[in-house]
């Protein structure tokens, strides 16, 4: 509807100059479109029901007054054959100006915002243009003694009221924020009206033959106003005050700065141009002087506002630089500055706290709950300290405490108070959370380096976390040696990945009782050039801690899947039906892990159902991203095996939340299965659980024929262990099978 109206309006605007202005046909054509504009505005208000409907009705009143002026003008000219200037038509035209401005301001109320900088910019622009308009148009009209007084007054009134339009258009154009379609159309209409009004002041004198062309601008303004009322954006409510305060601060960009500079230079420009036209002795000194003073005061106010804004923002930046936005605590920068002073004074005592299980809270309940938890913890920590002590958030879920004073043993008491403050449940996002912290402490003995004190406390904290969490550990020299070994091993893992020192071996998983290899489990081995074969139990935890397990695990996955395809092509039905790959909790927490698995399957050509991903109970116990990753893999068609089943937190409960296809019964239940009495009860119960749920059960760690026979008797049909084959690079798929007697 809006588009059709604009097209019709533009066609009317283009056609009008060809109708010969001043003829009855042209008058009816022009006024008919003004009536249509008035109808479009009223129809738009009734259809869209804008919040500022009073403004639209005031605006419609202005259009109605202009219509009355146009009709009266044509009656004088066409019927009475009298000069329409001055006449009653001028009363209608002049009366429409205040209504146009008032209506536009009411419609734009709220959207213009309290943007004082923008208002000053608009005042500077309109002030400079008004000076030019006054000196070259209004003043000459008023001073023309050859015309009757009434004609001079009315003639000067039009350009004087056009100053209102100049100020209004400047405010609409210079405003901050996004312009709605409706308000943008209103602005375009006001600009078209202003341009035609300006041209109308000069056309009768300089180009009377083109006087009718001026009406094109008025027709375009009617077109835009009708479209503005019809557009659905006219119903948009005014922005909320808080949004205005946040988003309507005008900035001095290059374009705006150039525009303001040009307007302030209009004063000397007017002096120069008028001096050339009429001579220095006839300059309008009063108008130019008043204009210069007004522009100077406006620019001064704008500059003062800009300076105040810069100072305010500088203060905010300084506050942000020293304060953690989430918790309100001092940040790392403040802590390190205070720590440096304490170290120099020789009384530095520092504690580092890291929340236990915080990642699980974020994964399971979302970051909003995690943020709320951090804010509550920060408040409790601050409340547990003495007046001279300092607590700061170092980043993530890590906090640091600096004691203001006290004996070397004061830290123990402070740590106890901190731990007690964290024992109470935390209410966050409708959840009652229990949270603990691993705490490491250190002092400045033997050093004058603040960074060294912080490093010692950090190492002690990691030692406390490695010991099970929820503990306090003070720094000692042996922690450095232990941390050094882990750091060295981590660097060697990095080098081993780059140099290709890792190997993948495969342990058979066989069917019972025939001992046929049905699948294999991929296991990683590290052949160190100097230290020989390094046990996975030694390097896997370090890789988990430093994150290299993600890269190592991806390499194992690619290698194992590629090898599975090779064996399938080489051995056919005699080869392994499935490839089983272990996946760590750290890998499952990676956002793109499922995509990685899908990419590897597509790259190698291995079918999804031929891949088994083995996860431990502890990896998925906390829920969150790990469980979601398992679900995504299962939807992909990948089989899920729960490794070391029966040894975790809540094995049976996991079967209700995690999509599982295979249960791998832990070796601890297999070792004593041949002994009399109650030793086989758990193994029996687990095979019954798996059978009842329609799952496959694999008995791990089978080392003797007697164990294999007993497992088969209990109902197990899949097993793995040294009795059937050790992990090797190339299992013997075609060799003699180890059958169960």
Per run of 10 residues, the mean pLDDT along the chain (length 741 residues) is 91 89 89 94 91 90 94 91 88 92 81 63 75 73 70 77 77 66 87 82 68 86 93 70 43 68 76 72 73 81 78 70 84 89 89 85 80 92 90 90 79 88 83 84 88 88 78 85 74 85 95 93 92 88 84 95 94 92 88 91 95 85 76 94 70 74 89 75 85 91 92 93 93 78 60
352, 427: one domain: yes
Report long-range pairs for 627-636 (Cβ below 8 Å, ≥24 apart).
627/657, 627/658, 629/588, 629/589, 629/593, 629/594, 630/588, 630/658, 630/659, 631/658, 631/659, 632/594, 633/594, 633/597, 634/659, 634/661, 636/594, 636/597, 636/598, 636/601, 636/608
Q: 3-state class of 496 per DSSP?
A: helix
**Full domain range(s) for residue 389:** 332-475
Both 156 and 199 in one domain: the answer is: yes
Q: Of the residues 442, 475, 508, which one is the last residue of a structural domain? A: 475
The per-residue pLDDT for 220 is 94
| Helix/strand/coil percent split, the chain, to 5 | 65, 10, 25
- Residue 534: inside a domain: yes
Can you give the pLDDT at residue 312? 79
Residues 100 and 217 in one domain: yes
Is residue 269 a part of any domain in this protein? no
The last residue of one of the domains, among 222, 249, 276, is 249
pLDDT for the residue 294 = 82
Q: How many CA atoms lie within 13 A of 393 on its CB side?
A: 21
* Whether residue 452 is found in the same domain as residue 536: no
Q: Is 407 exposed, middle or buried (0-12, 13-18, 19+ CB in 10 A)?
A: exposed
Quick check: is 18 in a domain? yes
Q: Are residues 459 and 494 in the same domain?
A: no
Nearest Cα to Cα of residue 339 among 389, 274, 373, 406: 389
Q: Does the residue 353 lie in any domain?
A: yes
Please report, for the domain that includes residue 363, its CATH number.
Answer: 3.30.70.270
- Asked whether residue 447 falls in the same domain as residue 505, the answer is no
What's the pLDDT score for residue 281?
63
Residues 495 and 470 in one domain: no
pLDDT value at position 279?
A: 67
My answer on whether 454 and 496 are in the same domain is no
Number of domains in the chain: 3
With respect to residue 307, please indicate whether it lies within any of the assigned structural domains.
no
Q: Are 217 and 198 in contact (CB under 8 A)?
A: no
Note whether 433 and 537 are same-domain residues: no
Q: What is the pLDDT of residue 637?
A: 95
User: Is 688 contained in some domain?
Assistant: no
Q: Which CATH number do you get for residue 531?
A: 3.20.20.450
Residue 76 and residue 162 in one domain: yes
Q: Tell me: do 170 and 43 sit in the same domain.
A: yes
pLDDT of residue 616: 84
Inside any domain, residue 733: no
Q: Would you list the DSSP string of 401-443?
A: EE-SS--TTHHHHHHHHHHHHHHS-EEETTEEE--EEEEEEEE
Q: What is the pLDDT of residue 241?
A: 41
- Within a domain: residue 671? no
Q: What CA–CA distance (Å, rounded) separates 395 from 408?
A: 27
Residue whose C-alpha is closest to residue 453's, from 354, 356, 322, 344: 344
620 and 559 share one domain:
yes
Last residue of a domain, one of 249, 268, 294: 249
Q: Which pLDDT score is estimated for 248?
A: 43
pTM across the whole model = 0.47
pLDDT value of position 141: 66
Nearest to 377 by CA among 412, 331, 326: 326
Residues 420 and 442: their CA atoms lie apart, in Å, by: 20
**Which DSSP symbol is given to 513?**
T
C-beta pairs of 77-80 under 8 Å, 24+ apart in sequence: 77/22, 78/24, 78/27
């Amino acid at each position: 509807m809006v588009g059709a109206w604009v097209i019709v309006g533009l066609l009317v605007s283009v056609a009008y100059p060809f109708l010969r202005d001043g003829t009855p046909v042209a008058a009816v054509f022009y006024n008919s479109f003004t009536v249509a504009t008035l109808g479009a505005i009223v129809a738009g208000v009734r259809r869209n029901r804008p919040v500022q409907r009073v403004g639209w009705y005031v605006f419609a009143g202005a259009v109605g007054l202009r219509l009355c002026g146009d009709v009266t003008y044509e009656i004088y000219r066409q019927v009475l054959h009298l000069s329409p200037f001055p006449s009653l038509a001028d009363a209608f035209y002049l009366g429409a100006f205040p209504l146009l401005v008032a209506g536009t301001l009411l419609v734009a109320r709220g959207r213009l915002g309290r943007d004082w900088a923008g208002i000053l910019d608009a005042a500077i622009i309109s002030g400079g243009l008004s000076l030019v308009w006054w000196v070259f148009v209004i003043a000459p009209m008023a001073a023309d003694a050859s015309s009757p007084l009434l004609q001079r007054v009315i003639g000067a009134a039009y350009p004087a009221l056009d100053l209102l339009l100049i100020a209004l258009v400047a405010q609409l154009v210079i405003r901050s924020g996004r312009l709605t379609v409706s308000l943008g159309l209103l602005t375009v209409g006001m600009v078209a009206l202003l341009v035609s009004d300006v041209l109308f002041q000069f056309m009768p004198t300089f180009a009377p033959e083109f006087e009718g062309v001026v009406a094109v601008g008025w027709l375009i303004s009617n077109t835009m106003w009708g479209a503005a009322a019809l557009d659905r954006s006219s119903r948009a409510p005014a922005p909320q005050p808080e949004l205005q305060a946040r988003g309507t601060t005008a900035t001095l960009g290059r374009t705006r700065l150039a525009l303001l500079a040009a307007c302030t230079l209009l004063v000397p420009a007017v002096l120069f141009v008028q001096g050339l036209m009429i001579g220095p002795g006839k300059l309008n000194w009063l108008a130019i002087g008043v204009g210069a003073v007004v522009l100077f005061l406006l620019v001064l106010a704008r500059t003062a506002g800009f300076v105040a804004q810069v100072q305010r923002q500088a203060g905010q930046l300084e506050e942000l630089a020293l304060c953690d936005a989430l918790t309100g605590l001092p940040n790392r920068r403040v802590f390190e500055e205070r720590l440096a002073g304490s170290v120099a004074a020789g009384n530095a005592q520092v504690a580092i706290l890291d929340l236990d299980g915080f990642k699980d809270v974020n994964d399971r309940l979302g970051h909003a709950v995690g943020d709320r938890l951090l804010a509550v913890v920060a408040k409790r920590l601050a409340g547990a300290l003495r007046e001279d002590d300092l607590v700061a958030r170092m980043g993530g879920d890590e906090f640091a405490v600096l004691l203001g004073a006290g004996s070397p043993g004061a830290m123990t008491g402070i740590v106890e108070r901190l731990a007690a403050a964290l024992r109470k449940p935390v209410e966050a996002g409708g959840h009652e959370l229990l949270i603990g912290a691993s705490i490491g402490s250190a002092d400045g003995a033997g050093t004058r380096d603040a960074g060294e004190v912080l490093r010692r406390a950090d190492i002690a904290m990691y030692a406390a976390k490695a010991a099970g969490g929820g503990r306090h550990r003070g720094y000692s020299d042996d922690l450095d040696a232990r941390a050094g070994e882990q750091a060295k091993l981590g660097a060697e893992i990095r080098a081993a990945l780059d140099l290709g020192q890792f190997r993948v071996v495969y342990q058979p998983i066989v069917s019972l009782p025939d001992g046929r290899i049905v699948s294999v489990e991929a296991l990683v081995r590290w052949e160190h050039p100097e230290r020989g074969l390094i046990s996975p139990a030694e390097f896997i935890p370090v890789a988990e801690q430093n994150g290299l397990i993600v890269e190592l695990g991806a390499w194992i996955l690619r290698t194992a899947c590629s090898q599975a395809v090779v064996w399938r092509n080489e051995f056919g039905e005699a080869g392994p039906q499935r490839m089983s790959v272990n996946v760590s909790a750290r890998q499952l927490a990676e956002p793109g892990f499922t995509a990685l698995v899908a990419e590897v399957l597509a790259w190698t050509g291995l079918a999804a159902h031929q891949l088994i991903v083995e996860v431990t109970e502890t990896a998925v116990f906390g829920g969150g991203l790990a469980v979601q990753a398992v679900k995504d893999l299962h939807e992909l068609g990948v089989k899920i095996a729960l490794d070391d089943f029966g040894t975790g937190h809540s094995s049976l409960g996991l079967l209700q939340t995690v999509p599982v296809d295979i249960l791998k019964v832990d070796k601890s239940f297999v070792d004593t299965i041949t002994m009399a009495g109650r030793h086989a009860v758990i193994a029996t119960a687990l095979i019954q659980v798996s059978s009842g749920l329609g799952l496959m059960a694999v008995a791990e760690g089978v080392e003797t024929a007697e164990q294999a026979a007993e497992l088969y008797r209990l109902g197990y049909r899949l097993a793995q262990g040294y009795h059937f084959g050790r992990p090797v690079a190339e299992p013997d798929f075609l060799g003699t099978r180890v059958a169960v007697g």
